[in-house]
Amino acid sequence: MRVATSRPSIGPMTIPSNTAHRISRLAILTAGLALAACGGGGGGNSGTGAPIAPPATPPPTGGTPPTTPTDATTPGVWKGTINSTTTGQSEALVALTDRDGQSVWMTTDGRVWHGNLPPQGDHFDATFDGYMYEGAHFPDGTNHGPASMRVEHHSPSETRGQYSGSGDDGTFHMALSPMWDRPASLGELAGVYTRSTSNGYTMTMTLHADGQLSGSDSRGCVFGGTVTVPDPQHNLYHLDTNVSACGSLDGHYRGTGTLLDADAMQDWMTGMHPLEHGGHSHGGSMPGGHHGGLGHNTVPTGQHNLFMFSMFSENGAIMDALGR
């Protein structure tokens, strides 16, 4: 665009032609910038040859898109109680679930359940295998059988529901332990762990920093194998163990363990019937050579010093809590 060179006047004031030329060029440039700011003019140049700024990004509209809540995950170290509506008994419960959904539940009366849970969800059903040691039994007289777990509510901090199987029905309620979020390592776990009872029974397990596991008890049972870390960010360990010289409990076992604070598990250690290959259960006793007089557990104190584990085979299950 060419700018006129006549001498325009505004009221009584006369503007020199060179000043008018400058004002006109300024008006054109300002208009071009205004067009650019509004998205006009495309990507070209103004008539003066000056580059035009790219269009400004328009502000977002409609606010932040809504998000869908993530289902609570099931892995963890869970601690709570089960309450049998069949027998009226209440027992402490610990459940260990890894990131693949493999889960073992154990109670102070000596039962072990294991099975698979979905990796996440707020309610679901699962079928577990339940074990009692030889000589003990569930309410229907068996020591092995399926159990149905119905999780009616599951959140990042708690889980509750109902169980049934082997002639027993009841409810469970557990909370996620803060000890779940501790890192796991073979170096942290290494040490000699033991449990003893007032009548002389002992079990000892040595966990080595290279992952080797060995142990025995005062009845002559011998076990050895390996321990591995499935997830260094969380406090769970996998066990692969062979048990020998232990009668009906001989066999190849797999299971899960966790390193807990003995101070936080005082109720468990006090309530757990001495597991000399078992303890008392619903009306039965477990072998160990001390029927009717199994004594009482030693109850350790301290932190990062109680190894609780549960492992199972085709023949049965073994669970215990040993102090370092």
**286-306 confidence digits (pLDDT tens):** 333 333 445 788 899 999 999
pLDDT in tens, 190-213: 999 999 988 888 999 999 999 999
pLDDT digits (tens, 9 = 90+) for 236-282: 999 999 999 998 889 999 999 999 999 999 999 988 876 554 443 33
Residue 28 has pLDDT above 60, yes or no: no
Q: Which of 312, 246, 247, 248 is nearest to 106 (CA)?
A: 312
- pLDDT of 31 strictly over 50: no
Is the pLDDT confidence value at 33 over 80? no
User: What is residue 296's predicted lDDT score, i.e. its pLDDT?
Assistant: 85
Is pLDDT larger for residue 51 or for residue 308? Answer: 308
Radius of gyration (C-alpha) of the chain in whole angstroms: 36
Distances (CA, A) of 27 to 4, 20, 50: 13, 10, 14
Give how far Cα 100 sits from Cα of 103, 129, 166, Å.
9, 17, 27
Name every residue whose Cβ is closer than 8 Å to that of residue 177 and which is 6 or more positions away in sequence.
76, 77, 78, 79, 260, 264
Q: How many CB atoms lie within 10 A of CB 266?
A: 14
Q: For residue 18, give the nearest of 31, 32, 4, 30 by alpha carbon.
A: 4
Rounded to whole angstroms, the Cα distance separating 283 from 267 reads 22
Q: What is the pLDDT of residue 132?
A: 85
3-state SS assignment for residue 310: strand
Max mean pLDDT among 27-41, 46-60, 126-140, 172-186 falls in 172-186
Which residue's structure tokens are 């963890």? 76
pTM score, two decimals? 0.74
- Name the token pair of 221: 């049972």
